[in-house]
Structure 1
C-alpha cells in the first residue's frame, strides 16, 4: 500500500532522514518508535509532502515525492499532527465539517460515528474548539481526519499529555480503524500502547530504521530497547 525506499529528507541544508526503507500494508497498524530527535515526526511530514525529499514513496503504485500536501491528502492519506491544530474559533461540529472532502457522501464515517466513538464530542458539539481540554482536542483532530475518509492515517504522538483513561480510549479508537480496513502509522514514544495494538514495530534512530519486527520480538530484545528507546 505504502512503500518507502531510500528516502532522504531535509530541512534546508540539514539532512534529517538517511535512506529510510519500510512499508505499511493494507489494514495493519505499524508503530514507529524512537526517542525525540530520531526523525519520526519528519518521517510523517515527508509522507505528507511537508518537507523536501529525495528517494521514493509509492502509495498504491503512485509516487508521492514531489506532490503537494493537498494532493497527497486527496489521494487517501490522513495526517494527525502532534500539535493537534484545531480551528479554535470554530465549534466542534464545524471542525468536523471541514474534515470532509466534497459532500462526504460515500464516506465510511459520519458525524454520528464520531459522536458515538467519543460521546464527549457530542456533548461539546456547539462549543468552540479552542476551549476544549487537550484530550478533547486530540479526539477532535482524530475525528476530523477520519471525516476525510482516508485509507491510511498517520498519527503523531496521539497520547502526549493525555490522562491514562484517554490514552486507553485512543488505543481503542485506533483498533476500530483497523477493523474498518484502515491502515495506521502510529508515531509514539510510549511503548505500552504501541506494543499492545500494533501488528509491526519499527524503531528509528539517527534518521534511519534500526529495527523492524513484531511487538513480541521488540519486547524480547532488551538491547534494542536500551540503545534506541529507553531514557
Structure 2
C-alpha cells in the first residue's frame, strides 16, 4: 500500500485555481522527484498536502484521509515538511532549533541529536550559534534536521538545493540518499533535473497544475519530447 496517496487534488489561492486534479502516490522508502517549470504548482502541491492552502480532493496517509486536517495534526501523523524558505528560529541556537522539532518535547525513536550531528558535522561545530547567522546551506541542513527530529515516515522537501553552492548541492544529494537508506520516504520538489534524475527512484512531471508524466529517471532521460515540452527552458 502506498504511504501517501493523492487523488483528484485541486487547490486554490483565493479565486486562483492552481492544482487541477493531481494524482500522485509515494511508497515507503521511495524518493519521488517532483519536477516542472516554475509556477506549475509543485510547491502548492506539498502545501496542500500539509493543509496550508485551500484544497479539495483526497489525501490519504497510511490509508487514513488527512485532507481538511490542520497542519499540526498532519505533522503529528508522520508527514514532515521542509519549506523552501528555510524557516529557522533566528535568535535560537542550532541545538535549540533541533530540540523544537521533537514531538511533544520527546526525542525521536529513530533520530537523535547525535544522528543529526553525525550526518551534518558542521551543525555540531555551530550547535551554540544563533541560527540566524548560519549560511544558506547550513540553514537548509538545520531545517531538514529539525524536521527529522519529529520522526516522520514521509518528508516533503521543497527546493533543497536552491541558491546553494555546487559543493553544498552535492552534500544535500548525498544526505537525501542516506535518508532513504534509513527507510524514510521522500517527496522532493527540485528544479535541478540532473540532481533529481540521480537520486530519485521515480519522477513525476507537473504542467498546468497536474501530473503530465510519471516514470523512472532512466525513462525520463530517454524521453526527449517530454523534457522539451515540460522541463527545458
TM-score for the superposition, normalised by structure 2: 0.98
1:69-107: CA deviation from partner (whole Å, max 9, x where unpaired): 000000000000000000000000000010011243452
Q: Which residue of 1 aligns with 2:118?
A: 116
Q: 1:122, 1:182 → 2: CA distance?
A: 23
Q: Within the alignment, does 1:134 sit opposite 2:136 as a pair? A: yes
- Say what the alpha-carbon RMSD is for the aligned residues: 0.8
Q: Within the alignment, does 1:104 sit opposite 2:109 as a pair? A: no
In the alignment, structure 2 segments of 5+ residues that lack a partner are none
Equivalences for 1:145-164 in 2 at 5 Å? 145-164=147-166
Equivalent position SS for 1:107: coil
Q: 1:99, 1:207 → 2: CA distance?
A: 31
Q: Which residue of 2 aligns with 1:227?
A: 229
Q: Within the alignment, does 1:206 sit opposite 2:213 as a pair? A: no
Q: Which residue of 2 aligns with 1:188?
A: 190
Q: 1:105, 1:139 → 2: CA distance?
A: 19
Equivalences for 1:1-231 in 2 at 5 Å? 1-105=3-107, 107-231=109-233
Between stretches 165-174 and 69-78, larger displacement belongs to: 165-174
Q: 2:52, 2:208 → 1: CA distance?
A: 20
TM-score for the superposition, normalised by structure 1: 0.98
Q: 2:173, 2:127 → 1: CA distance?
A: 23
In the alignment, structure 1 segments of 5+ residues that lack a partner are none
Q: 2:113, 2:188 → 1: CA distance?
A: 24
Equivalent residues, number: 231
